[in-house]
Amino acid sequence: MATAPEIRHRRRLGAALALPAALTLLVLVIGPSLAVLGLSVTDYRLGMPGANWVGAANYAALATDAGLRGSLANTFAFVAVVAPLAVFGGLWVAILVAGAGRARGLAQTVFFLPVTATLVAMATAWEVLLHPSFGMANALLGVLGLPAQRFLSDPNLALWTLAVLAVWKLLGYNVLLFLAGLATIDRTLYEAAALDGAEAGWRRFTLVTWPMLAPVTLFVTVITLIRTFGEFELVVVLTNGGPDGATEMVLFTLYQEAFRYFDIGRASALAAVFLVFVMALSLTQIWIAERRR
């Protein structure tokens, strides 16, 4: 049994080891978050020498902003399409890859490539592929006898085009997480299921695979929701919020308020609301995970 001096020494050693991470968290996360909360109750504009206290005025302005309502509508429509496809598509692909045998390594590499590639470069490549005049996508439509489409400049198509690209971007990461989850499933459970008549197929999936993957699925769902609600790069590189605001989403609106209109107070209020939303999603994940124990 450890003596009192040994216990104190271990505590001091643990505190010393945790100090760099705690300082990094304070400087990079907690400090900036507190600064944003402080700016959200002022009328500070970028470049101004000072700021005035406005209280909840910035939050009230967000509630009545028609442009923000359009941005929110686009964001929720985008998430409603991307999140289910990215989560369940990732699960389906992971099951296929897990059973790919010798080709498993190649399949993992192919699906994980979008995660490792520079997103701006890949988005630029997609912009060329989807070009209305010389893009490969329209060339393929021509071969099939279909009319050419303006994938990124048609208000009726642009948001859904970004949704398809977002699924492509997220799929590899989700596949990797599901593969890690599949690797932890005890093989004897499949043997027991086989004795009950569930040797393969849908019954084996519903009796063993899906229940055992529940914690991983919850984590993947929350991470996917956070990433889709926070989509920014595809919008900036491919559409810049257009055409006619058809692809403007929450983080792009925040960026516009801060760095186009220089209204830091209002942008900080929007960032604070988004931060609270992300925290709520994370806490929901923790609460559900604790209830499952």
Is 24 a domain residue? no
Amino acid 101: pLDDT: 66
Tokens of 143: 């071969």
Tokens of 62: 């967000």
Is 172 a domain residue? yes
Strand partners, 42: 53
Is 4 a domain residue? no
Q: Identity (one letter) of the amino acid at 289?
A: A
Which run of H or E residues covers position 276? Answer: helix 264-292
CA-nearest of 220, 247, 244 to 233 is 247
Sorted by sequence, the CB contacts under 8 Å of residue 157 that are 6+ apart come out as 149, 150, 151
- Domain count across the chain: 1
209 lies in which domain range? 59-292
Is 52 a domain residue? no
Is 20 a domain residue? no
Is 213 a domain residue? yes
Is 199 a domain residue? yes
Amino acid 50: pLDDT: 80
> Domain of 181: which CATH number?
1.10.3720.10
Q: CA torsion angle for 33, 34, 38, 40 (degrees, to 10)?
A: 20
Is 41 a domain residue? no
Amino acid 82: pLDDT: 96
3-state secondary structure labels for all residues of 106-154: HHHHHHHHHHHCCHHHHHHHHHHHCCCCCCHHHHHHHHCCCCCCCCCCC
Amino acid 103: pLDDT: 67
Tens-level pLDDT at each residue, the chain (293 residues): 667 777 888 888 888 889 999 999 999 988 988 999 999 999 998 878 888 899 889 999 998 888 889 999 999 999 999 999 999 999 998 888 887 666 667 777 777 777 777 777 888 888 889 988 888 998 998 888 888 899 999 999 999 999 999 999 899 889 989 988 988 888 888 777 777 776 667 788 888 888 889 889 989 999 999 999 999 988 998 999 988 889 999 999 999 998 888 999 999 999 999 989 888 888 888 788 777 66
Amino acid 199: pLDDT: 67
